[in-house]
Structure 1
Amino acid sequence: MRLDAVLVARFLGFVELAQLNPGGRVFFPNVIGAMVERFNFQKYPTKLEDFDESKGIEFAEGRWNGTNVPRLTIYNNGFLVDTQTSTNDSERVLFESLEWAKQKFGITFTPGMIFRKRYLSDLLFYCEAPILNWFMPVENLNLNLANVASHVLGEQLAYSSIRVDLDFERYQRNAPIAPFTIQRRLEFAFSDNMYFSEAPLPTEDHKRLLEQFEKDVLAVRGPEYPQYKSVQR
């Protein structure tokens, strides 16, 4: 497996904003203005209606200590930070920026105040094998579908598995946690073996799961599998 791009590396840190300013001494607009300058955000709130913490106060296209920050959102119960390097960097940006605000404006902050952490990782990657073509009953269905469809459509089309999704039983706990998904990139031929994957995990954990999945597929199907060979990139 070759990682080609980190599309989104998101960290969500949950903390009640009121706890950051318990005495009400910090003037929030001053913090916002300094944040815009410190991050060099290209998009930031300018109107009163933009400062709605329930919907999220949005900042975009900034930079913190050498790390690009495409998105930072402040909610009444926490923060969202996106980078395109790793969730570790996103988490670091949040903690460092809160420490900066503590030193500059006197907000109340310790790392332990972040009472919950969540992650989202979107990766673009290439594999040597068609990793979604490993389950023989589905492969047989692809072939049968192609044969039947050729009579109906009057042309021969190649069918293949295009995605796999993993999720938990949401009727027991319908939490806002993304499923784990692997899907082919629509802009590429099947033989290119280019994939997109999203997971509610730190970037490195996400990457390790994908690498292990590729190894497991190859162990099951092996290089003799007819659709194994791909365009080398």
Structure 2
Amino acid sequence: MFVSSIIVAGGSGKRFGGKKQFFNLCGKPVVLWSIEKFLKLTDEVILVLPKEDINSFRAKWVKKYPALKICAGGKERFISVENGLKNISAQSSIVCIHDGARPLTGKADILRCIKTARKHGAAICAAPASDTIKLTDGKTTIEKTLDRRKIFLAQTPQVFRKEVILKAFKNKAGVITDDAQMVERTGLKVRVVPVTTPNTKITEQSDILIAEKLIRKYKT
């Protein structure tokens, strides 16, 4: 089994107020937390960055991470993932797709997700809903209360057999919110791997403070 990882860090960080992937988190850029984990746990890592940041990132980090592959992202996330897929090795059999803004993902959760995807074809890390979930009419009127026992909040990594994710991208259409959604449209059942540690996504400045506390607590 040869496992490839694509770390998507091509965003502009409008809500954050800057490129969050490069923001300092406990002594190193946010994205490096993911890079280091996936370099240890998988066979290759492809980092997808904004085109204008590639040269400066290489100049600063290539000596420390010589095995890291880097490619340019696109205007939409799915384009960035697609560019990453074009750079995976021919011998790859499993592909992990991970948000570079999720620095806290537990190593055990990553490995469980890989194992599940290898067996079933597709798996994602996800957190069970803890709040009561209301379905509205698209505005402010509640139509029904959903059974939160069946609700999971999709996270990353999202892991697939290579042929599964390549087929999904080949047939992509419509609005795409995550990679698993494209696989669902092919008819394959995607398995959920409940996370065992917090897997916070850095979206706003306040998330950095939360992430710092969690890193110290879990020593992730």
Please, what TM-score do these two structures have when normalized by structure 2?
Answer: 0.24
Please, what TM-score do these two structures have when normalized by structure 1?
Answer: 0.23
